[in-house]
Amino acid sequence: MASMKGRLFRIFAESRLNRSTVDSIEDIGGFRRVGLRCQDEPTPAGSKLQVLLPSNDVRTYTPIPIPGGFLLLGWKHAGGPGAHWLSEIGPGDELRYVGPQRSLEIPLGPVIVIGDETSIALAASFEHDRPGQIRAVIASDSGEVAEASESVGLSMIRTAPPVDTDHIADLVESAMQELPGAVIAITGGSELVLRVRSSLRARGLEKIKAKAYWIPGKTGLD
């Protein structure tokens, strides 16, 4: 069933929504990188695009600026309308969206991004804005995380099994040694966010921002 937000977006589609054209598609295992051609707009790191899907649902993605447009990196195995749309789009398709809008604001300086497959684009957007000042710790069993990350300009990345909270925290502490004073940003699924934040606080790390991108059993969380 289409969301109320999607219906409202559709009503105002002709006059209020921005438009872009899909310029390129690249599949990397369960990931899909989408190149969008559109007018260049100011896009602070951590911004979001709220995309109106053909089903009248709305899904949120982190745009990574490139000359003449954006890159999106989506996870096709997430399920729901967003994953279906991501799997079906192709070059030449039109996107309608609201944004870029600020979503996760972090003061200038180094950042350690922790999350799952849905968090890679966020880390890449900060790497674009602050080259060399970003580290990412991604909780995933996917073997394509490193390749997908490199496809959007993110190379300083560590991975860990999603259930191994202690190992994730160890990797964060290792990254903190490389980037003393970094802000820690935890995103992705709500359960991961809660577990990792609790573990890091127990280790005395307090400079933490957290934002859940999705909750099990719910759809359309912005």
**Does residue 3 carry a pLDDT above 80?**
no
Q: Name 78's bridge partners.
A: none
Q: Is 40 left (phi over 0), alpha (psi -120 to 50) or beta?
A: beta
Query: What residues have CB less than 8 Å from 135, skipping those under 6 apart?
Result: 110, 111, 112, 113, 156, 157, 158, 175, 178, 179, 182
In whole angstroms, give the CA distance from residue 192 to residue 141.
14
Instruction: Give the pTM.
Output: 0.91
Write down the CATH number for the domain with range 111-214: 3.40.50.80
Domain boundaries, the chain: 4-102, 111-214
Residues 124-166: pLDDT tens digits? 999 999 999 999 999 999 999 999 999 999 999 999 999 999 9
Helix, coil or strand: residue 107: coil
Task: Assess contact for 171 and 160: CB atoms under 8 A.
Answer: yes
Confidence of residue 42 (pLDDT cuts 50, 70, 90): confident
Q: Name 183's bridge partners.
A: 111
Integer CA distances (angstroms), 208 to 109, 134, 179, in order: 14, 15, 14
**Does residue 220 carry a pLDDT above 70?**
no
Does domain 4-102 fall into CATH 3.40.50.880? no
